[in-house]
Amino acid sequence: MLCGLVLPQFIIRAIVPLEAFSSWRSARSKWQRRAVPVTLISAVKAGRPVRPMLDFVAPMMLDQEKVVHQGLGGFLREAWKKEPAPVEGFLLRWKDDCARLIVQYATEKMTPGKKARFRRSEPKPRAAAAASHRRAQPPPRTRAAEVQRHRRTQPLP
């Protein structure tokens, strides 16, 4: 709600410059990072120029969080509807390195022929692709940890 209705007004009405959100691009919270492209959707729809916004979100294109990918893809889709040429150039530049979900969301309104231009040039090796998007796994259980866990779950005599 905040990034869809309130924050865009600060940009649309030129109350704050786009650069005021620059620290949000690398915030610890994935939701704060996601707020950046989602905020820009309304700014694009209001007719703000797309090119400066593309430059602004470029550092986020390698983010590892799915919710950020969804926000970026949604922003790029809406920006493409207003100004296709700069968005297509941006996507061509990032298509081999960014998350596929970004490209999927960004191209969902394109024709199949146009979408094909944004497929990866060479698929990432499966292991490398999985490792780049894999969530941190808990450390493997040791015998000592299993014994402690078992002792905690046993009723007292």
Going along the chain from its start, the domains and CATH numbers come out as 2-121 (1.25.10.90)
Sequence-distant (6+) residues with CB within 8 A of 36 are: 21, 24, 25, 56, 57, 60, 71
For residue 134, what pLDDT is reported? 52
pLDDT along the chain (157 residues), means of 10: 61 73 88 89 88 92 93 94 93 91 91 85 61 54 60 55
For residue 132, what pLDDT is reported? 55
